[in-house]
Structure 1
């Protein structure tokens, strides 16, 4: 577990870490971005399989986790929602809904497993 300074609250540390996500930790492009080739149908299928696997592992982990951990996941769903004054993007909105649905599935899985 990382050592924190006494004056840094966990909430402050989380906020600072999450705020860096918007710009990849403060990274700036120093060279022109290279065009990435489109994925092949086989690569897309493999990506979908991996996403399904990761989602199910996440559900299992959340089902075994604490109420606080599930609440942090729900808080993240709210955090990635469009901020006041920002334009709403359908993918961001759907991502937040998807996080909430994953937590709900974990709670359901937890009740079945109990």
Structure 2
């Protein structure tokens, strides 16, 4: 986040998630600013992928030990970011929903195996 306006934009989770209602999280005109950060190279992308995989596995372990209510919240959040019926089905949004639901399924599977 580069300034106070960015911090305020993402402080409210419902406002941040509302971006998903429009073309799979495409930024609003308010957010469309030229980036002051340099282009990400291949090495940085590889490291980012490694970190995402590690974080997914950490979250999976934590979610597998969480109560049923937490799993319900994950699925409710997935439903929240699903495009409205009258909106264009953006591939990134539908893929994100699919990943979230599969992630909750995997956590439930691990939960039953570890008990």
> Normalised by the size of structure 1, how large is the TM-score?
0.72
The CA deviation string for residues 9-58 of structure 1, in whole angstroms up to 9 with x for no partner, is xxxxxxxx5431125xxxx849x722354311101101101111111111
Is residue 92 from structure 1 mapped to residue 93 from structure 2 by the alignment? yes
Offset of 1:107 from its aligned partner? 0.7
CA radius of gyration, larger in: 1
Q: CA RMSD in A?
A: 2.3
Aligned residues: 94
**Separation of aligned partners in 2, 1:37 and 1:88:** 31
Unmatched segments (≥5 aa) in structure 2: 1-11, 20-28
Structure of higher RCO (CA pairs closer than 8 Å, 6+ residues apart): 2
Gaps of 5+ in 1: 1-16
CA distance in 1, matches of 2:42, 2:79: 33
Normalised to the residue count of structure 2, the TM-score between the two structures is: 0.72
